[in-house]
């Protein structure tokens, strides 16, 4: 059953009409939380489609092609991590934010390693969640519109097409992995601290550990293969792109 258009009385099934900022898929089995997320995202100009279990969430992601997915990890039928794994296996790199009650660093790292772009732990501020959605969307649009293609070492990056290629061929990155690499390659040789990367790429720093940056750097390096040497670690400081 479709949700009501009124933001004060959200229904369960979700309203799949994309609003001015695009459609966000929310897969969350706790109705009060799902309703709160929908309310705040709708107020910020997003269309929202809500699913209450994993199988319907995966089907909706494939059918509706949202601009971003907010996935609870503990879901009936299929976990949020399994949804993300299957989307990535399909070649679908739609940005994903995990939402979970788990506050263990291992859980966060696993989520990031399978291709998530961000991770929010319950209880959370709905305003912070909306800010993170906005930051991910803004990174993509700004990078694509403003940056010129560039090459550092054997890595060629085209922000307009959001493509990365090496001597071995095309490289598939998540939205956040791409933005992180693009930020490093924007000024080759410039050393960025982890805190600077959190602020510039993720759009926040106060509520995130710098381990998030390390995990994403490791993921980018793994995907770059032999070209991974383009990212150099400056011990005790941070990272730089160096040809």
Position 17 in a domain = no
Position 8 in a domain = no
Domains held by the chain: number: 2
Beta strands 169-171 and 23-27: pairing type?
Answer: unpaired
Residue that terminates a domain, selected from 105, 125, 140:
140
* 120 shares its domain with 211: no
Cβ atoms within 10 Å, residue 44: 17
Residue that terminates a domain, selected from 84, 117, 140:
140
Instruction: Give tens-digit pLDDT for 203-215.
Output: 665 455 678 889 8
Give the pLDDT confidence score for residue 18 in this predicted structure. 47
Residue span of the structural domain in which 201 resides: 147-241
* 155 shares its domain with 231: yes
CATH number at residue 50: 3.40.50.2300
Answer yes or no: pTM beyond 0.75.
Answer: no
Residue 199, token pair as written in the block: 């602020």
Question: Pick the residue with more confidence: 83 or 210?
Answer: 83
Instruction: Give tens-digit pLDDT for 148-181.
Output: 789 999 999 998 888 999 999 999 998 889 989 9
**For the purposes of burial, counting CB atoms within 10 Å of the CB of 18, is it exposed (0-12), middle (13-18) or buried (19 or more)?**
middle
Whether 174 and 117 have beta carbons less than 8 Å apart is answered as yes
Cβ atoms within 10 Å, residue 30: 14
Question: Pick the residue with more confidence: 211 or 4?
Answer: 211
């Amino acid at each position: 059953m479709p949700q009501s258009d009124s933001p004060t009385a959200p229904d369960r099934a979700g309203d799949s009409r994309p609003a001015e900022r695009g459609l966000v898929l929310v897969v969350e089995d706790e109705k009060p939380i799902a309703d709160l997320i929908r309310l705040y995202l709708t107020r910020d100009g997003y269309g929202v489609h809500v699913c209450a279990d994993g199988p319907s969430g995966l089907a909706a992601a494939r059918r509706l092609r949202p601009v971003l997915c907010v996935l609870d990890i503990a879901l009936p039928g299929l976990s949020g991590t399994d949804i993300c794994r299957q989307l990535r296996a399909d070649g679908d790199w739609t940005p994903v934010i995990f939402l979970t009650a788990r506050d263990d660093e291992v859980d966060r790292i696993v989520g990031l390693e399978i291709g998530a772009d961000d991770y929010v732990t319950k209880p959370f501020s709905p305003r912070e969640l909306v800010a993170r959605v906005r930051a991910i969307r803004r990174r993509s649009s700004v990078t694509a519109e403003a940056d010129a293609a560039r090459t550092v070492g054997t890595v060629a990056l085209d922000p307009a097409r959001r493509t990365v290629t090496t001597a071995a061929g095309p490289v598939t990155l998540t939205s956040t992995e791409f933005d992180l690499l693009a930020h490093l390659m924007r000024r080759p040789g410039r050393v960025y601290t982890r805190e600077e990367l959190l602020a510039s790429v993720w759009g926040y720093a106060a509520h995130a550990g710098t381990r998030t940056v390390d995990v994403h750097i490791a993921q980018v390096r793994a995907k770059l293969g032999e070209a991974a040497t383009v990212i150099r670690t400056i011990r005790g400081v941070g990272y730089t792109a160096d040809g």
